[in-house]
Amino acid sequence: ANLIRKSAVIKQKLPPIMNGPMHPRPLVALLDGRDCTVEMPILKDVATVAFCDAQSTQEIHEKVLNEAVGALMYHTITLMREDLEKFKALRIIVRIGSGYDNIDIKSAGELGIAVCNMPAASVEETADSTLCHILTLYRRTTWLHQALREGTRVQSVEQIREVASGAARIRGETLGLIGLGRVGQAVALRAKAFGFSVIFYDPYLADGVERSLGLQRVTTLQDLLFHSDCVSLHCSLNEHNHHLINDFTIKQMRQGAFLVNTARGGLVDEKALAQALKEGRIRGAALDVHESEPFSFSQGPLKDAPNLICTPHAAWYSEQASLEMREEAAREIRRAVTGRIPDSLKNCVNKEFLTQNNHWAGVDPATVHPELNGAYREVARQSIIILMGRQRNVSTTKHWLLGY
């Protein structure tokens, strides 16, 4: 009888309400930035918004680690399992951008944290930047400008020939695209207008797309490398394609081909690329993304590489794109706070891991407070649960409810 009375008392003690009236709003934090002026109007009535401006979890305030239920982040911070485990209440991470290789999405799912991205973000900007890099490699505008800046006198035909050495005609050249997603397709359409013959390799793309876009599909990476005068990367980074461009694959490329990467830095082995540039096997390369960021010419394997253009992971940026991404990321956070996770989310990339690790499936719906209307909610860490007729402290046990 005494045990029944204790159980009844505990059932009446509900977890704290995060989004109910007269209660604090849930905390949402921008991890690696400080400007929240775009996100605030979208979230201000459902969440408290803070910024951390951190480059690692060691720099994140303890209050955010303990209380934040939502996180917004760019590409300048990395969250692996050991980082994710530091967050005590986190339920949703929204990557402001398309790539999410800086987040361990499997571990996040196992910890009950949904991860979302903006897959349509900056397609136009990235495609424009890619074509800009390609044109610069072919027409050598950057090097010509630099020569004049350095005081090089260019008057005679011989001087022009010397300073513009390596410039090439575009029409009739073959551009090979590795990956034909949103950005890859946008690049293909732009390149065709300049006279490129465009081929692509994408084993995950459904048949027929090449016919609708007027492109040629190749069935192996080796075929693409062998037939391309310029290779451009447009695929995501995962455990299967790290250093996709390496010493072995570079040797399969045409002698004197160009290489462009506006996708992910880990796709290219920079040591192998530097050696190929020095030996002339690759005529020129343009990289917007790098193995180690922020990139600097003062260190790393590329510091002495010739015929190389590097930009600071900025191919995605325009004022319009930045605004659109931030607004959509804030709306995704709002859907999480006011709806159910992951059902209410538009672009959840780790739903399969959340489903496989359904911590809340066995919870009695009768114990769920009606105002906890999301999909996850962690009971206060010092709660007491009656298990098998015994009272047991679970200060370190995560007990999931069907609430937010």
Do 83 and 144 share a domain, yes or no? no
Do 148 and 65 share a domain, yes or no? no
Do 100 and 186 share a domain, yes or no? no
Q: Out of 19-28, 132-141, 224-233, 294-303, which region has the weakest mean confidence (pLDDT)?
A: 19-28
Do 97 and 133 share a domain, yes or no? no
Give the catalytic positions in this structure.
264, 293, 313
Do 178 and 279 share a domain, yes or no? yes
Asked if pLDDT for residue 22 goes beyond 70, the answer is no
- Whether the link from the prior residue into 16 is cis, omega within 30° of 0, is no
pTM (predicted TM-score): 0.81
Q: Who's near 205: CB < 8 A, 6+ residues apart?
A: 180, 181
Radius of gyration over every alpha carbon of the chain, rounded to an integer in angstroms? 26
Q: Which of 275, 310, 345 is the last residue of a domain?
A: 310
- Read off the CATH number of the domain in which 83 is found: 3.40.50.720
What are the angstrom distances between the C-alpha of 31 and each of 48, 64, 94, 292, 349? 14, 9, 10, 20, 19
Do 131 and 98 share a domain, yes or no? no
In this structure, is the dihedral angle defined by the CA atoms of residues 251, 257, 263 and 265, taken in order, positive or negative? positive
Do 111 and 260 share a domain, yes or no? no
Asked if pLDDT for residue 142 goes beyond 50, the answer is yes
Do 110 and 148 share a domain, yes or no? no
Q: Report the chain's mean pLDDT, rounded to a whole number.
A: 86
Q: Compute how many other C-beta atoms are within 10 angstroms of the C-beta atom of residue 261.
A: 25
| Distance between CA atoms of residues 354 and 255, nearest Å | 47
- Give residue-wise pLDDT tens across range 302-332: 999 999 999 999 999 999 999 999 999 999 9
* Domain that residue 215 falls in: 124-310
Residue 291 lies in a domain: yes
Q: Which of 276, 310, 344 is the last residue of a domain?
A: 310
Residue 403 lies in a domain: no
- Give residue-wise pLDDT tens across range 61-110: 999 999 999 999 999 999 999 999 999 999 999 999 999 999 999 999 99
| Distance between CA atoms of residues 298 and 393, nearest Å | 55
- Contact present, 59 and 52 (Cβ < 8 Å): yes
Backbone angles phi and psi of 64, in degrees to 5? -65, -45
- Burial of 78 by CB count in 10 Å (0-12 exposed, 13-18 middle, 19+ buried)? middle
Do 91 and 210 share a domain, yes or no? no
Residue 35 lies in a domain: yes
Residue 401 lies in a domain: no
Q: Compute how many other C-beta atoms are within 10 angstroms of the C-beta atom of residue 90.
A: 27
Do 234 and 338 share a domain, yes or no? no
Give the number of domains in the chain.
Answer: 2
Do 165 and 287 share a domain, yes or no? yes
Residue 399 lies in a domain: no
Collapsed DSSP state (helix, strand, coil) of residue 92: strand
Residue 398 lies in a domain: no
- Whether the link from the prior residue into 342 is cis, omega within 30° of 0, is yes
Q: Which of 274, 290, 310 is the last residue of a domain?
A: 310
Do 304 and 171 share a domain, yes or no? yes
